[in-house]
Amino acid sequence: MNTGHNTRKMILSALFGAIIILLNFTPIGYVQLPVIKATIIHVPVIIGSILLGPKIGAGLGAVFGFTSLYNNTFAPTVLSFAFSPAIPVPGTDRGSFAALIIAFLPRILVGMFPYYAYKLFNRLLKEKGRMFSLGLGGIAGSMTNTILVMHLIYFLFRDAYGKAYNLAMDAVYKTVLTIIFVNGIPEAVLAAVITAAVCLALKRYGKLDY
């Protein structure tokens, strides 16, 4: 029984990792918007976290982080200095290794927080509220990504961010909050719907306990 369960976990881990990499090389993985890249590439990380646990979820989050580092290094945009130390920070002639914190830390946590959020809400709402609990887990993971990324950019690269987009310093945080609400909320809703649907399907047909 344990052997079969572990085999399913290994297969799903590899599958989710492959999906993350595949999404990275398709237009829907990262969508370039005027001031940031919107993403659905975090959704397999969230699903993996809930189904497979926070350790595997963190590993999938690290894969997500590598895709961010790769994209921003080899296909840079205005904001790529915040995700890759190979891209010079505006106003300087070199990059910053602080970019690795933004590229990896929020994404690793995206692979951990949904598991605990789902467990908490599932305990509170019981079996009948499972779909709702899964959706809330999806929202928790998506908002973890958006909120942490944007706030780390603000705290680590506030001046450079302002220079990159010709913003006054007192307008930078307003822009950060605007992105969180305008981009983050739709991403979170989409993540909630996909997470609930996929997790329930895998629960039913994949014989997974979570």
How do residues 8-42 score in pLDDT, each as one tens digit? 788 889 999 999 999 888 876 655 555 455 678 99
Please give the pLDDT value at position 87.
97
Please give the pLDDT value at position 205.
66
Question: How do residues 153-210 score in pLDDT, each as one tens digit?
Answer: 999 999 999 999 999 999 999 999 999 998 888 889 989 999 999 998 887 765 566 5
Average pLDDT over residues 130-135: 94
The dihedral of CA 12, 71, 149, 155: what is its sign? positive
State both tokens at 46: 């969230």
State both tokens at 42: 């975090």
Ordered domains of the chain (ranges, CATH) = 2-205 (1.10.1760.20)
Average pLDDT over residues 36-54: 87
Is there a contact between 102 and 149 (Cβ–Cβ < 8 Å)? yes
State both tokens at 118: 């789902």
Please give the pLDDT value at position 4.
65
CA torsion angle for 52, 56, 62, 65 (degrees, to 10)? 0
State both tokens at 140: 């928790």
Please give the pLDDT value at position 127.
73
